[in-house]
Every structure is written in structure tokens, then in C-alpha cells.
């Protein structure tokens, strides 16, 4: 009788992780939380159109599985993605599940939402969509970012951040820069500590504003001018 290969200890954990996202409601929660903010259980229940008790049950599973973390303030319970790794996992899976060109939104509202997300959005704590791609491309053309063998800031790139007064947190285990596959553009945008710092600066400086309660963002007039002056990005490409 042939001897069976030893059981891979990672297999049960992989299966458990896959099971967490195998439910549409839980997947919907994780996609909503890619905006990088903390949501209440009630907000997520309304977002996914499920009962509060149903939302609470699903959130408990996501927290126990390590994809989400929770914070309590008084009577309110807030949840967010556990960390950048969890966000990266969800975004990568979303890229693989993105609809093909032949699949069109079935309603005007769905089409408007899809268009807004494709134009610009937050991917956990960095910019994605056409805005994110345009920034990564422009930084590369100007020698601020290298993409040949993975993303890396050049010395001029580090200087560019410093000149803008954007501090880069280099004291953590988080990579300074990392590529993140954009599920609408199918190309990499800038993630990591530098991507997060740039996104935060864009929102605080009023270059970008959030649209509604989701993770879609758009460039403001000030943002279009700033990105054109700093990186040569043509406003039409990010509208």
C-alpha cells in the first residue's frame, strides 16, 4: 500500500480563510471596509441590506478569523480590516473576481458606482483607480519611483516626499513602498507606507474628497492643479 504524503498543516487554515470570504455578506463587508475607515455594525448591516443580528453574526466570524478587528466606544462597536495584509488579500481577490468587459452594470445606480470607483477610490489607506495609476505612472516617468523589479522609491523620490512635507514612517515592519494590483485598471498602483502617506496628504490638503459614504474619491480643482504641477498629470485623465 502506497504511503500517503504528510498532511500540510497550512491546508486547514487556508480552507478556513477561504470559507470566511465564501459568504456574499461577509465579502461585502470586507469590500466596504477597504475604504480604510472604521464602520459600526449597524452601518455595515444597512450597507449589505441585512438584519443587525445577521450582521453581528457575520462580523463575529470575520473577527474570530483575523480578517477584522473591533473597537468599542461606549455602546458603539466599530470594526475595521485587521491590517494591511488583510486589505491586500481582499483587494487581490477582488481583482480576480472583477467583471470582464462583456459584463455591464444592470442599473444606472450600479453603473454610476462602478464609474466612480474606477475613476478613484481608497484601497484600504492608499489611492487606487485611474487616480492611483496616474500617480504611479507619473512618478515612474519622473524617476521618483522604479517599477522594474517591484516598486522602490529612488533618492529623488524620497526627496520629493520631503519637499512636500509628507513624512514617511520608516520605523515599522511595513514596507515603504509596495505595488498593489488595481482590480479596475489591472495594473499596479502605489501602496505601502509611502502610498498611505500620499493618500492621507491628498485628503487632508483637499486634493481629493470622498464621495458619499463609500470608498470612491474624486480629485478637486485644487487637486487637479497640484497633480499637474507636481507630476504633470493631465486633469482629463483622472476625471
Residue 235: closest CA among 214, 217, 218, 211: 218
Count Cβ atoms within 10 A of the Cβ of residue 123 and give its class: 0-12 exposed, 13-18 middle, 19 or more buried: buried
Side-chain half-sphere CA neighbours of 186 within 13 A: 6
Looking at 2.60.40.1840, 1.10.10.10, 3.20.20.80, 3.90.400.10, the CATH number of the domain 15-82 comes to 1.10.10.10
Model pTM above 0.95: no
Instruction: Please report the pLDDT score of residue 206 as a whole number.
Output: 97
Q: How many CA atoms lie within 13 A of 29 on its CB side?
A: 35
Condensed to tens digits (0 to 9), the pLDDT of residues 139-192 reads: 999 999 999 888 999 999 999 999 999 999 777 778 999 998 888 888 899 999
Residues of the chain with CATH 1.10.10.10: 15-82
pLDDT of res. 234: 96
What single-letter DSSP state applies at residue 50?
-
User: For the chain, what percent of residues have pLDDT higher than 90?
Assistant: 62
Nearest to 25 by CA among 2, 3, 48: 48
Closest CA to 129 of 64, 210, 205: 210
Please say whether the beta carbons of 153 and 144 come within 8 A: yes
Instruction: Report, as an integer, the average pLDDT of 62-73.
Output: 93
Amino acid at each position: 500500500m502506497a504511503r500517503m504524503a504528510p498532511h500540510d498543516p497550512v491546508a486547514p487554515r487556508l480552507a478556513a480563510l477561504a470559507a470566511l470570504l465564501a459568504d456574499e455578506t461577509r465579502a461585502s463587508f470586507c469590500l466596504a471596509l477597504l475604504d480604510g475607515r472604521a464602520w459600526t455594525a449597524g452601518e455595515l448591516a444597512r450597507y449589505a441590506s441585512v438584519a443587525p443580528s445577521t450582521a453581528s453574526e457575520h462580523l463575529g466570524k470575520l473577527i474570530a478569523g483575523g480578517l477584522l478587528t473591533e473597537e468599542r466606544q461606549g455602546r458603539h462597536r466599530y470594526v475595521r480590516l485587521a491590517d494591511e495584509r488583510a486589505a491586500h488579500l481582499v483587494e487581490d481577490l477582488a481583482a480576480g473576481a472583477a467583471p470582464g468587459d462583456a459584463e455591464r452594470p444592470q442599473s444606472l445606480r450600479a453603473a454610476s458606482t462602478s464609474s466612480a470607483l474606477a475613476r478613484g477610490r481608497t484601497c484600504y489607506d492608499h489611492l487606487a483607480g485611474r487616480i492611483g495609476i496616474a500617480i504611479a505612472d507619473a512618478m515612474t516617468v519622473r524617476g521618483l519611483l522604479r517599477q522594474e523589479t517591484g516598486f522602490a522609491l529612488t533618492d529623488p523620490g524620497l526627496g520629493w516626499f520631503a519637499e512636500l512635507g509628507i513624512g514617511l514612517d520608516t520605523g515599522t515592519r511595513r514596507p515603504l513602498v509596495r505595488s498593489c494590483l488595481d482590480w479596475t485598471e489591472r495594473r499596479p498602483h502605489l501602496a505601502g507606507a509611502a502610498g498611505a502617506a500620499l493618500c492621507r496628504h491628498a485628503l487632508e490638503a483637499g486634493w481629493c474628497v470622498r464621495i458619499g459614504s463609500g470608498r470612491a474619491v474624486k480629485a478637486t480643482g485644487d487637486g487637479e492643479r497640484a497633480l499637474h504641477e507636481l507630476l504633470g498629470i493631465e486633469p482629463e485623465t483622472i476625471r
